[in-house]
Homo-oligomer: A and B are copies of this chain.
Amino acid sequence: MNSFGRIFRVSIFGESHGNCVGVMIDGCPPGIPIKLLDFMKDIQRRKPGAVGTTKRKEKDFPVFESGIFNNHTTGTPIVIRFENTDIESKEYQKYVDLPRPGHADYTSRIKYNGFNDYRGSGHHSGRITIGLVAAGVIAKKIIAPMKVNSKVIEVGGSKKIKEKVYEIATKQDSVGGLIECIVENVPAGLGEPFFDSIESLLSHIVFSIPAIKGIEFGAGFRASMMKGSEFNDVIIDEEGKTATNNSGGINGGISNGNPIVFRVAVKPPSSISLEQKTFNFKKKKIDSLLIKGRHDACIALRMPVIVEAATAIVLADLKLINKINSI
């Protein structure tokens, strides 16, 4: 199902080389002030431009199609639409028979019985995440004074991010990265005990972002090596503040008032300019593949704002849900 959220419910649509991409938001409260400028800042952060990012140039101008009136949300469904303009589709038909390693070319063909829009990876394109960013702009307004901050902390195992990306891009290769996200001013009591634990909801939406292969909260994987006497965060004041934050601000699925902290592992982009091998489904044999076109050498660079948006969407939903914790 292509929707996420229980109250603040987000659906994204569109294809990389179709008319447009966009987002529908259902369940947004009325009266939230909406300005175009609010969107431009986050959309700009997602855009390519730096070393190691794709050459595709989209204006990414948000058109408010519904649910916004007199610069405020109305409470009815919001649709925001982004036209696609800079499209080069001719390369992609060949990947139907010659699926690119690491891409969804093969899985999408199987899943949709060959009816998938394969141009620019169609609905599988990272371009679709612009809808998440737009929804995130509104979500961030809902969750204030909570504040989400996300950044790249490593690329290819190196903390020298620019240098590493430059080195890899020069070699026509690509590289993975590590992103950290911290939410400040989180009230205690958000989340549910089991299926809608904060970790469950955050990981659900974060793994919707293409290229993410791991997530960990607080001490994360390090927790598997720790003793209880080391891991346990001692509560030190009446607000629930803890001396350490190994739990990443979450106990029993519910926020404890300390910052929510998590990290995500981003894989290297699948499209590289180096020659690769893949199976040729027409010739029924392993074949060589050279991917032309416009790629990111390190997609992690463009992702912090998407991770922030995803996080804000979850927290907006949980904040709204908590309003019904009494009659």
Contacts and interface: CB of A to CB of B under 8 A. Distances in A.
Contacts of A22: 65-66, 79
Nearest to A77: B13
Interface string A19-47: 11110101101111000000000000000
Interface in A151-183: 154-157, 168, 173-178
B221 A69 contact: no
Contacts of A66: 13-15, 18-22, 123
Contacts of A284: 238
Interface in A229-259: 229-238, 240, 242, 246-248, 250-257
A278 interface: yes
A235 B101 contact: yes
A101 B142 contact: no
B77 A267 contact: no
Given A196-B2, A324-B323, A74 B173 contact: no
A61 interface: no
Contacts of A175: 226-228
A69 B18 CA distance: 9
A267 B108 contact: no
Q: How large is the interface on A (under 10, 10 to 19, 20 to 34, 35 or more residues)?
A: 35 or more
A57 interface: no
Interface string A284-327: 10100000000000001000000000000000000111111111
A193 B104 contact: yes
A87 to B, nearest CB: 14
Given A116-B69, A251-B104, A2 B195 contact: yes
A277 to B, nearest CB: 5
B216 A65 contact: no
A3 B26 contact: yes
A285 to B, nearest CB: 10
A213 interface: yes
Interface string A112-153: 110111000111100010000000000001100000000000
A124 B252 contact: yes
Contacts of A234: 101, 276-278, 286
The 9 closest A-B pairs by CB, nearest first: A104-B252, A214-B216, A174-B228, A157-B225, A203-B203, A107-B254, A199-B207, A30-B115, A76-B123
28 contacts: A11-B24, A13-B76, A15-B74, A22-B79, A29-B327, A74-B116, A75-B325, A103-B252, A104-B252, A107-B240, A107-B251, A111-B325, A124-B252, A168-B227, A199-B212, A203-B207, A203-B215, A207-B253, A214-B215, A214-B224, A215-B215, A220-B265, A226-B268, A228-B271, A228-B272, A228-B274, A231-B267, A236-B286
